[in-house]
Amino acid sequence: ASKPQPVVAANWKCNGTVAALTELLAVFNDAKVDHDVQCVVAPAFVHFGLVQAQLKNTKFAISAQNCIAKSGAFTGEVSIALLKDLGLKWVILGHSERRQYYGETNDVVASKVHACVGAGLIVIACIGETLKEREDGRTAAVVIGQLAAIAKTIRVNDWEQVVVAYEPVWAIGTGKVATPEQAQEVHHIIRQWMASNVGAEVASKLRILYGGSVTAANADTLYRCADINGFLVGGASLKPEFTKIIAATK
């Protein structure tokens, strides 16, 4: 079976200056992307205006790195309605840094996914185990627990608006990329669970991204794995090499 359209997403996290991002966006604009791929850039909220003004490459969409469901008296937050008002369609939810540092539990993440897909956004839902969980032999249980919490709150048709990112926490920002075998094993578990619990067609169409120390040097090999449909990239997404990671999905 052929793979679904790949997604390659840049998670800039809390990084970047106006000067550096302007240079990087010029590189993204010049990148010749001649295959069917959805590229995504997720800047910090304060850089949305900059990216909206400067990103001209039509292969790219702009994404938030997080949001909350409702507008109102929530100082320091950004809601779905605020994103939609800017014309944004994508949001990353449940990143391990949100889970670790901001107390986002499986239930919090699931309710955000529910609200965002209900509002018509496309969600990159992040799941992944810690090193301790992997060493304890609990990788599958943890990842499926995170996935099941999300699946419980959305309808079968809503999966068209969801991309799953498998990001082992021990591989994020560490330079310790998962081997293709380690990544493929978990991606396959995710797709199998989806087939058994949501539906065969949804499972085969679902884009499952790998994230965790992806670089131009390892992206080709990872993308050859049957169940890897693209990448969520942190560190390397702040460099011109991000365009090579996009090219690896050709």
Question: Per CB under 6 A, does 63 bind ligand PEP?
Answer: no
Site string for ligand PEP, 170-189 (x = CB under 6 A): --xx----------------
Q: Which of 144, 233, 245, 246 binds ligand PEP (CB under 6 A)?
A: 233
Question: Per CB under 6 A, does 16 bind ligand PEP?
Answer: no
CB 187 within 8 A of CB 166: yes
Instruction: Report in angstroms how near the CB of residue 18 gets to ligand PEP at its nearest.
Output: 22
Annotation marks residue 95 as catalytic: yes
Contacts of residue 37, Cβ cutoff 8 Å, sequence gap at least 6: 5, 6, 7, 8, 59, 230, 246, 249, 250
- Annotated active-site residue in 104, 129, 167, 241: 167
Q: Which of 93, 109, 234, 248 binds ligand PEP (CB under 6 A)?
A: 234
Strand partners, 231: 8, 210
Question: Per CB under 6 A, does 218 bind ligand PEP?
Answer: no
| Buried/exposed 218-241: b ≥16 CB within 10 Å, e otherwise | bbeebbebebbbbbbbbbbbbbeb
Of 80-88, 101-109, 207-215, 218-226: span binding ligand PEP (CB under 6 A): 207-215
Backbone torsions φ then ψ of 26, nearest 5 degrees? -65, -40
Question: Per CB under 6 A, does 128 bind ligand PEP?
Answer: no
